[in-house]
Amino acid sequence: MTGSRYAPRAGLRRALPAPADRTPARATAPLAAVAAAFTLAQLLLVGPRMGLGWDETVYVSQVSAHAPAAFFSAPRARGVSLLVAPVAAWSSSTALLRIFLAVLSGVALYVALRAWRGLFPGRVLALAGALSASLWVTLFYGPQAMPNYWVAVGALTAVGCFLRADDGRAPLAGLAASAALMAWMRPVDAVWAALPLLALGLARRRRRALLVLLAGLAVGAAQWIVEAFTRYGGLARRLSDGSAIQGGLGWHLAVDDQLRSLAGRTLCRPCTGGLPHPLVTVWWYALPLLAALGLAVAVRARRTGATALPLACAATAAFPYLFLIGYAAPRFLLPAYALLAVPVADGLVHVPTAVRPSRRPAVVALLGAAFAAHLAGQLAVLAHTVHGTTAAHAVWSRTASGLHRLGVRPPCLLTGHEAVPVAFYTGCSSAATSGPNANATAGGIARTALRIPVATLMRKGGSAAPPGYARGWHAARIGAVRLYYAVPGAGP
């Protein structure tokens, strides 16, 4: 730091000189290779034919011609819906959508890593990309119509561009675009991730970077804010409703919940049971230690800024999901993992230089073996998670096929157990009379059943009686679901 100016780049160049004979294309080739491998791994390991999940059906239905739009609750933002619109607006193919998102996520990773060129050498950035992309949660959510990965690459790009904001218009444009991307996907998460950037911009009077960052956040969140007043009763009401849907934001120690989710639990709510095997979670315990190593390397090289800032943004991005909500999902921490990857990679690259030259090959081999073991564990969790998720989504598809056989076809309405995703698979609307997705009344559902097919889904083993409006309807069972349905004109 010099004067009132935050300028990490000069120190970085002294400590980590880039080879003079390398062309820009050669310098970015490793980053492109990592991004391409990330895309290929998604297509091979996750697969394009895994059906859409519950949240995905909500986002995709907003722009899909296949099914009516599902109820859009207060915490959600429409960035994902717009992201998938180029495919979902004209095709119902899940495979095509997965391929599109896998390719797009690989391109986004490359852009995010490239934003850090000049701050760290190419080998550090390539390793950072590999570390982040090799996590099972990154591979699993890269091709999904979910917002968290996009907040992650947006945050990584924003920090890199903020650090290079004095280099001309390109970093400022990247800062604006990445801030808008974060807010477009999840406005509240974008603010948490950007807090250190906002604080540093104020403290160091970096007015241009601060204004660009604020403008990007405002543009990305504009639709969400306008919608808060037009549909949810105001911004404060939308934030309050969002908090209630998430169980009420307040002091909750969710660190152990996040640990439980690392075994492949995509949603840990309620988060009960024992902790996973230590081999599954050892990388999570090592992560803060490796981040501290990266910070120590930066302090010794007198270039603390470029390492401390992503660490600070990772901490603020993770804070609400570790301490303010009472449940966990591994995707919540994707922005923190992406931001931590660069300091961790920098620390790991410098480990061999801290020993005698004669011992460096052994140290490199040891690090390689550790990474191979880590990768094997991540791939095992990924395979388990993909298998279980694919099977769960196939159940919804079979239920939809059974409903079609019973005459419940579009236009139609579903209510009850897992009505939101099953309705998307069936091509129906969904309705609920209570809970976070409440958008109808019992009387309204009964009147709808006089015009179009309506079905109420219930757990097969449940003892609850059907809702009053469904007690005179036909009954049937499809797999683990019992249902009551009415098809106008079909007879008794």
The one-character DSSP state at 289 is: H
Angle at 182 between CA 116 and CA 189, to 5 degrees: 115
What confidence score (pLDDT) does residue 14 get? Answer: 37
492 residues of the chain, pLDDT tens digit each: 333 333 444 433 333 344 433 456 777 899 999 999 999 999 999 999 899 999 999 999 999 988 999 999 999 999 999 999 999 999 999 999 999 999 999 999 999 999 999 999 999 999 999 999 999 999 999 999 999 999 999 999 999 999 999 888 999 999 999 999 999 999 999 999 999 999 999 987 788 999 999 999 999 999 999 999 999 999 999 999 998 888 778 888 899 999 999 999 999 888 888 889 888 999 999 999 999 999 999 998 888 889 999 999 999 999 999 999 989 999 999 999 999 999 999 999 999 988 888 888 999 999 999 999 999 999 999 999 999 999 999 999 999 999 999 999 999 999 999 999 999 999 999 999 988 888 899 999 999 999 999 999 998 766 678 899 999 999 999 988 999 999 997 655
Is there a contact between 86 and 100 (Cβ–Cβ < 8 Å)?
yes
Residue 105: partners with Cβ closer than 8 Å, 6 or more residues away: 38, 39, 42, 142, 143, 149, 153
What confidence score (pLDDT) does residue 476 get? Answer: 94
Is there a contact between 340 and 310 (Cβ–Cβ < 8 Å)?
yes
Helix (H, G, I), strand (E, B) or coil at 438: coil
Phi first, then psi, for residue 481 (nearest 5°) are: -115, 130
The candidate with the shortest Cα–Cα distance to 127, out of 33, 262, 15, 46, is 33
The residue count for the chain:
492
> Which sign does the torsion angle of CA 57, 140, 333, 258 carry?
positive
> In what helix (H) or strand (E) does residue 282 lie, and over which residues does it extend?
helix 278-300
What confidence score (pLDDT) does residue 206 get? Answer: 85
Residue 159: partners with Cβ closer than 8 Å, 6 or more residues away: 197, 309, 310, 313, 339
For residue 8, whether the previous peptide bond is cis, meaning omega lies within 30 degrees of 0, is no
Q: One-letter amino acid identity for 252?
A: H
Q: Where are the domains positioned within the chain?
A: 9-350, 390-486
The candidate with the shortest Cα–Cα distance to 105, out of 81, 137, 135, 141, is 141
Taking only Cα atoms into account, the Rg of the chain, rounded to an integer number of angstroms, comes to 25
The reported pTM is: 0.92
Burial class (CB in 10 A: 0-12, 13-18, 19+), 43: middle
Separation of alpha carbons 170 and 215, rounded Å: 16
What confidence score (pLDDT) does residue 4 get? Answer: 35
What confidence score (pLDDT) does residue 26 get? Answer: 76
